[in-house]
Amino acid sequence: MPSRAAPKRASKGASKGASKGASRKADPVVSKSALKRAAAVRRGGPIGTARSGHGDTAPEAVDAATLAEIFRRFHAAEPEPKGELHYVNPFTLLVAVVLSAQATDRGVNLATGPLFAVADKPEAMLALGEDRVRDFVRTIGLFNTKAKNVVALSRILVEQHGGTVPASLEALQVLPGVGAKTASVVLNIAFGVPRIAVDTHIFRVSNRIPLFVGSTTDKVQAGLEALVPEPYRRHAHHWLILHGRYTCKARKPECPRCLIADLCRYPSKTSA
């Protein structure tokens, strides 16, 4: 069995603040020209009314300067945010994200720990075969389809990419079980491409603050990628997803401990 690196694990969510004693990087500088470009995009984007979680009409999205300050605070609290899926290399990251569709990160991690111990490369996953992979992931929703996709994408990686994960949106999206969201996550985490994949948490947070008001996840992703200042774009996905998961929750957001509560325009903030 080939040697493998220790699984990478996520840090605490950005909204929980950085751990004590953690090093801090200087805040990135956002140029005035960048703010002007963001404002121009915002004026031309699909900014409209939306419904808040309590039925109120949401306000217009925050201005460019406020948006930059929001991400400055996220950066100050957690300069290097991490996702919560466990992986050891780009291939295991790809598999974990494919398995995470309609499943919790915790549930995926429980299944992939034993799986990645025996197959952390596409050649090994292909050798396992669909039946063995299915046995490892049967605790995850839609496990039959996902097992089939994992083996199929492993075959394509071996036969067409020399056993490596391509760093291309187009090449990733043709893999079985990989859509635009999964491809964006892999590009962002594995290759440092500043993509902002939008899940239910980010969709809610963006429309609630609001950062960008959009009726679909694709529209919100396009809007955020155009508006978030470049120095913060790479980690925006993790800051927003962790903020939505642990602070700006769907049913009862924890506004009293939110580090951007004074900048948020959500009309139905909760109280202590």
Q: Catalytic site residues?
A: 181, 199
Peptide bond into 210 cis (omega under 30): yes
Q: Kindly tell me the burial class for residue 34, based on how many C-beta atoms sit within 10 Å of its own C-beta (0-12, 13-18, 19 or more).
A: middle
Long-range contacts of 17-26 (CB under 8 A, 24+ apart): 17/77, 17/78, 17/259, 18/77, 18/78, 18/79, 22/79, 23/79, 24/76, 24/79, 25/75, 25/79
Nearest to 178 by CA among 194, 160, 166, 191: 166
CB crowding 241-254: b at 16 or more within 10 Å, else e: bbbbbbbbbeeebe
Instruction: Determine which helix (DSSP H) or strand (DSSP E) holds 65, and give its type and residue range.
Output: helix 64-77
Rounded Cα distance between 112 and 42, Å, is 41
